[in-house]
Structure 1
Amino acid sequence: MSQAAAADEALLEVVGTDGERLVSLPVAEGEGWCLEWNHSVEGFPVLDCYRHRDGRMVLVRSHLPDFAAGLDHIPGRGRQVSDGEGGYWIEAIDEPVPGNAYRLRVGSMRVDHRLVIDDTRISLSSLAENQRVTIRLSLPPNQ
């Protein structure tokens, strides 16, 4: 899946271990996206949300609908606020991702890792179920 990008826009890419680009989407400075998946035990959606900020991929917030296994707020890392529905957001994490990229072992369709950009959801599990991928923010050559 690919969309044309302007020469000055960064690209949010998902790349397989063989180097194949599975997803390539333009992401202008200041725009954001989330990685969403279903919690492996409880099944509810969890979100990690990023923003293209000053040429960096920055983790800005996470949504956790419950204090289920492995889901908790680390004191000193962002600010926990209620989502009004029994879950919570961790706001103001503001952690740059080293090298503008991270590796992810994509889960099964039950977990359904997906990219969320505006109203678009792209299932990474349907593209690379149980495989390792790299999610990266690739900058234009002039940055």
Structure 2
Amino acid sequence: MSDRAGRRTVGLALASIAVLALVLAGGAAATQPERVLVVENAETGERLFATPVENDTTVTLAYNHSVEGSPVRDVYAVRGDELVMTRMEFSSYGWGFPAQANVTRENGSFVHHPDDVRLSELYVSPGDVAGHRLHVGDETYDLVARSDAETVRIHVEHRSILQRMTP
């Protein structure tokens, strides 16, 4: 075999290895799990929607207090497979608010930073009076309309990109 033919063979072999490496890397990337925030009907398990999230994605449950009629915002951060409550904002004290907690005033609202409230799932009963909305990053979802005012379960799960692409 000539020196030129040998170099061509080595070059083709290296090119083949490079193509194989790209195919394998692409396949690995396609099966890497991603995290999604899932909202499903609590009784039936029917998935209402799912949206990709990363660590520290902000998830805010915003609603009007059923008795006080004042706005409430429960703020969570995605941490691994959990929702960690980082903040609660409310405009007036009423039933269900942390009366004994360390609360500050910011921009006219009461603000509470709870200690280590970690949830693997969150159940919410959306209602017309409360007008529950879920903010995930920059997106807003009307929980009342999406759930038909039925109780929902909110949680984080892993799924591969291939699972995401298939119905």
For 1:74 and 1:138, how far apart are their aligned partners in 2? 34
Q: What one-letter code is carried by the residue in structure 2 that aligns with 1:83?
A: E
Task: Flag as ranges the 4+ runs of structure 1 deviating above 6 A.
Answer: none
For 1:91 and 1:129, how far apart are their aligned partners in 2? 31
**Judging changes above 3 Å, is the alpha-carbon distance between structure 1 residues 50 and 7 closer, same or farther for their aligned structure 2 residues?**
farther
Aligned length: 129
Deviation of 1:71 after TM superposition, in Å, equals 2.0
**Judging changes above 3 Å, is the alpha-carbon distance between structure 1 residues 130 and 139 closer, same or farther for their aligned structure 2 residues?**
same
TM-score (norm 2): 0.68
Which of 82, 86, 99 pairs up with 2:105? 82
Q: Which has the larger radius of gyration?
A: 2
* Root-mean-square deviation over aligned CA pairs: 2.1
Deviation of 1:61 after TM superposition, in Å, equals 1.1
Aligned to 2:116: 94
Ranges in structure 1 where 5+ consecutive residues have no aligned partner:
1-5
Structure with bigger helix share is: 2
**Judging changes above 3 Å, is the alpha-carbon distance between structure 1 residues 96 and 21 closer, same or farther for their aligned structure 2 residues?**
same
Q: What one-letter code is carried by the residue in structure 1 that aligns with 2:126?
A: V
Cα deviation digits, residues 30-89 of structure 1 (max 9, x gap): 2111111111122221011111113322111111111123323443xxx4221131x211
Structure with bigger strand share is: 1
**Judging changes above 3 Å, is the alpha-carbon distance between structure 1 residues 73 and 94 closer, same or farther for their aligned structure 2 residues?**
farther
Aligned to 1:52: 78
Aligned to 2:89: 63
Cα deviation digits, residues 105-128 of structure 1 (max 9, x gap): 222x22111101244321111122
Task: Give secondary structure in 2 for the equivalent of 1:19.
Answer: coil
For 2:88 and 2:116, how far apart are their aligned partners in 1? 11
